Chain A
Amino acid sequence: MTRTINLTLKIWRQKGPEFKGKFETYNVRNISTDMSFLEMIDIINEQLTLDGKDPIVFDHDCREGICGTCGAMVNGRAHGPEKGTTLCQLHMRHFSEGDTIVIEPWRSRAFPVIKDLVVDRSALDQIIQAGGYISVNTGGAPDANTLPVPQEIAEKAMDAAACIGCGACVAACPNAAAMLFTGAKVSQLALLPQGKPEAAKRALCMVRKMDELHFGNCTNEKECEVECPKEISIVNIARLNREFMKAGFFSTVP
């Protein structure tokens, strides 16, 4: 039989980027523990709409943890307390009767709030635009195995490429740094033969863009790798540091 719980929610409400936001308290009753966290907000929103009030705005898309659209701080934890999950994969069975849940948006200078729980994460897109790609003419598909890649390297590149760009690393970082994101995006290409020709330029341009966007500086707090829904390791940050040093001190790229 489905269990239901009653909760007190403290949710950040902010009309727009220029408005001052504040927490509002909602007492919600009979929340099924089978619900996902976002479904619970859907339920509140239906009631708010019926009451003629503004529904709580939050980002979401695939609701199966692969798109990177959703995300909020739940009781001070990015995507909630479960390991290796996005907010949409968090279920109400992890909460107990009478719990108070504080829900707030990602907080960073680089991520201004658009409305309620939605933040503008285009800063991450700008880091990608600065160099997170390879410049090749796409012709016919090459024959298989013309570019041999050892299995171990392919696995490491794939682990880095698992990043869905949700921004939890920035949100969880005590310094609001984007080093895990940038580290993953530099690593996924630097490890593979296709990414090597532009590796130096990529590392320099992406790090400079990251600094320009007022992200903080990494101080190896490791909160990011714990909160990352794709469990991307800070080994990728060390690789970014290596790639950046190689590019800065030993390449001819200015």
Chain B
Amino acid sequence: MNWFLNTLGTSIGKKLMMAITGLGFCLFLVAHLAGNLTLYAGKDAFNSYAEHLHSLGAFLTVAELGLLFFAVVHVTSGAILFYQNFNARPLRYSANKRAGGRTLGSATMPYTGFALLLFIIFHLINFHFADKSHTTIFQIVSSAFANPGYVIIYTMAMIVAAVHVSHGFWSAFQTIGANHPKYMPFIKGTSLIFSIIIGVGFGFIPIYMLLLT
């Protein structure tokens, strides 16, 4: 096992953990978005989606623990990378100019990541750990988004998520070594489209719910 941890502990190993957990989160986002879209079909559809999801029982618990493990790995490696990269240039340049490689997403990765961590904690407290004994999940969601403050926070957070994903998605492929002249333009295009789908798909739900009330 020593060789395994040594390999994961290198700069490439840490990046590999970021890439694999990050791609895992991308898959999770797809499933989460697909579920959330049932909100557009109305109260009953959304409640029955939630019911079906919770009827998975042990599978759901395993999936949740898996996500938690991925989150711990992603956040810990990200924090170590951020610290090491910050330390790799003790004296900064006085003149800074981008050469054209950096994007909004790549330049803000640690900051959007930290903002998303805070948002996810906030989000879990709001919905996941909310008391559901006397109410349905639809009521919780609709009463939360009746408050414009919540709508603003959630929509902003989804814009941040889209920016984070716009770099994270293609970057994960580069890190696992999947850079091929035939596929890279497709992967980069997918990255951009995927981030827009995430931003618009999730971001419009709070606005729709506010308009509904």
Q: Decide if A241 is an interface residue (CB 8 Å cutoff).
A: yes
Residues of B within 8 A of A215 (CB): 11, 88
Cβ of B129 under 8 Å from chain A:
no
User: B177 to chain A: which residues have CB within 8 Å?
Assistant: 238-239, 241-242, 245
Interface string of A97-115 (1 = CB under 8 A from B): 0000010100111100000
**Contact of B213 with A by CB under 8 A:** no
A219 touches B99 (CB 8 A): no
Asked if residues B16 and A73 are in contact (CB atoms below 8 Å), the reply is no
B174 on the A face (CB < 8 A): yes
CA distance A249 to B102 in the complex (A): 31
Is the beta-carbon distance between A109 and B87 smaller than 8 angstroms? yes
Known contacts A239-B177, A248-B7; is A222 also within 8 Å of B102 by CB? Answer: yes
Scoring B residues 163 to 192 as 1 if CB is less than 8 Å from chain A, else 0, what string do you get?
A: 000010011001111110100000000000
A102 to B97, CA, bound (A): 11
Asked if A220 and B107 sit within 8 Å, CB to CB, the answer is no
Distance of A209 from chain B, by nearest CB (Å): 11
Q: Is the CB of B107 within 8 A of A174?
A: yes
A216 cross-chain contacts in B, Cβ below 8 A: 11, 84-85, 87-89
B115 to chain A, nearest CB (A): 17
Interface residue? A199 (CB, 8 A) = no
- Whether, in the assembled complex, A26 has its beta carbon less than 8 Å from a beta carbon of chain B, the answer is no
B90: A residues at CB distance < 8 A: 109
Contact for B97 among A77, A175, A208, A244, CB less than 8 A: A77
